[in-house]
A and B are shown apart, each in its own frame.
Chain A
Amino acid sequence: MNAWQFMVGHRAEILSATREHVLLVLISLAIAVAIGVPLGLVIVRHPRLRAVSLALASILQTIPSLALFGFLIPLPFLGGIGAHTAIVALVLYALLPILRNTFVGLTSIDSAILEAAEGMGMTQQQILFRVRLPLASSFIMAGIRTATVITIGIATIAAAIGAGGLGTFIFRGVAMVSDAVILAGAIPAAILALFADFLLGLLERRLRVT
């Protein structure tokens, strides 16, 4: 049986797995943005917190994903089996690109522009929200885009702890030694990633100034 036949035969199941997958990714990204962007704003003015949070986010990024899912299982409240544990792990991975890009975007602004803003009598808060943040928006979007692509990939592993999604087919295919079943999970995941990358790339270019 080839992959195409399998996919046609199981299209309803694949569709619902895709839906689960997208939901996992969207929820994780929403949380990562809600944490990463404000944290990026805060660390512009707090060098010590900046060092700690960027280092922590980088270290989290280096933990192999399967291991991280494993570590989370025994944890109370955050851990256990199922989608919510997967979301915790995915948020941790998505955090670094968003946080780092937010910070870089906010701090790589032409010094003449910032000097003009200060010289014109804008308060630090006005400079942050009316100058730095709009000028950093395309950087932030680039971070979200990277995080999205990473999350779509890593979310396939979430099936290992019972979170569902397209990884279900991949793990099943590995167990059955069936390329067709593996591809039934891998191909939709790849298409999702490419599609998200393209769409967010468009958005990123629209936000770019100069």
Chain B
Amino acid sequence: MTKPIIEFKHVEYLISTTPSRSILSDVSLQIYPGETIALLGRSGSGKTTLLKLINGLRFPSSGTIQIQDRNIRDWDLIQLRRSIGYVIQEVGLFPHLTVRENVCLVPQLENWAADRIYSRYVEVLQSVSLAPSIYSHRYPRELSGGQRQRVGVARALAADPAVLLMDEPFGALDPVTRAELQREFLRLAAHMAKTVVLVTHDVREALLLANRIVLLDVGRIIAVATPREFVRLSHPVAREFLAAAELSAGASL
């Protein structure tokens, strides 16, 4: 049995309003190397918070989080974050840097040699189907939404992290571009062997991309299931998600 690369044990996350409000309660979860995990839930279910606990953008109020067998509180946060790729919905590309400068930023901060940075840059840009000769010197404002998202993924992969965190990476895209990027993601995931944690509110995306789906509702994990198991879950929240997906599939015909 392989060891989990990320492990949550009875994690609780409170925000300090008065009275304090619980965003996540009693979250225990094991994520294994090479898996793609989808965190599925409605807005406010705590899925994004759960993701941010993994790269130390948030800290648990109680419970422990182990990343690669080390408690997150013992990690140097800067080091931890540089070893985890992070893609967010609004992409967060730096508008004052070119595509190449954006992608090469983390390797540069990590003091890689220039030729190693360049060859890695070419490799990751090609892996997201962008030609370096065309896109290197463009600024984010000169790219379409889909291209920006590809650059965001390339940037997250640049330092060759073992773990990739994606917060609704395809959420802001039109349906055609989204489907295209999802297909490419599957191809990429298959050959990269990275551990991916993906936040989504789209059950079809979760079923399509993930090996396991973690269903969250008001801060609690209510099910962890493979896509095959998920469609047979009887829990009302799971049924709601599936029903909503079927409804919109019917409506789009």
A residues apposed to B, CB below 8 Å: 110, 112-113, 115-123, 126, 131, 134-135, 209-210
Does B253 lie at the interface of the complex (its beta carbon under 8 Å from any beta carbon of A)? no
B residues apposed to A, CB below 8 Å: 55, 57, 77-83, 86, 88-96, 105-106, 109, 139, 141, 155, 165
Q: List 29 A-B contacts (CB under 8 A).
A: A112-B90, A112-B91, A112-B92, A113-B95, A115-B57, A115-B88, A115-B92, A116-B88, A116-B91, A116-B92, A116-B94, A118-B57, A119-B55, A119-B88, A119-B92, A119-B165, A120-B105, A120-B106, A120-B155, A121-B77, A121-B79, A121-B80, A121-B81, A121-B83, A121-B106, A121-B109, A122-B109, A135-B96, A209-B139
How many Å lie between the Cα of A122 and that of B55 in the bound state?
12
Chain A residue, CB-CB nearest to B79: A121
A134 touches B88 (CB 8 A): no
How many Å lie between the Cα of A115 and that of B239 in the bound state?
34
A contact residues around B155 at 8 Å (CB): 120
Evaluate whether A210 and B81 lie within 8 angstroms (CB atoms) in the complex, with A115-B88, A116-B88, A119-B88 already known: no
How many Å lie between the Cα of A110 and that of B92 in the bound state?
8
Evaluate whether A112 and B88 lie within 8 angstroms (CB atoms) in the complex, with A119-B55, A119-B57 already known: yes
A contact residues around B105 at 8 Å (CB): 120, 122
B141 touches A210 (CB 8 A): yes
* Minimum-distance CB pairs A-B, first 4: A116-B92, A121-B81, A121-B82, A112-B90
Partner of B94, one of A113, A115, A121: A113
Dominant SS among interface residues on chain A: helix
B contact residues around A110 at 8 Å (CB): 90, 92
A116 touches B96 (CB 8 A): no
Evaluate whether A119 and B91 lie within 8 angstroms (CB atoms) in the complex, with A135-B96, A209-B96 already known: no
Distance in Å from the Cβ of A125 to the closest Cβ of chain B?
11
Distance in Å from the Cβ of A111 to the closest Cβ of chain B?
9
A contact residues around B90 at 8 Å (CB): 110, 112
A120 touches B81 (CB 8 A): yes
How many Å lie between the Cα of A121 and that of B80 in the bound state?
7
A contact residues around B141 at 8 Å (CB): 209-210
Distance in Å from the Cβ of B94 to the closest Cβ of chain A?
6
Evaluate whether A134 and B106 lie within 8 angstroms (CB atoms) in the complex, with A115-B88, A123-B78 already known: no
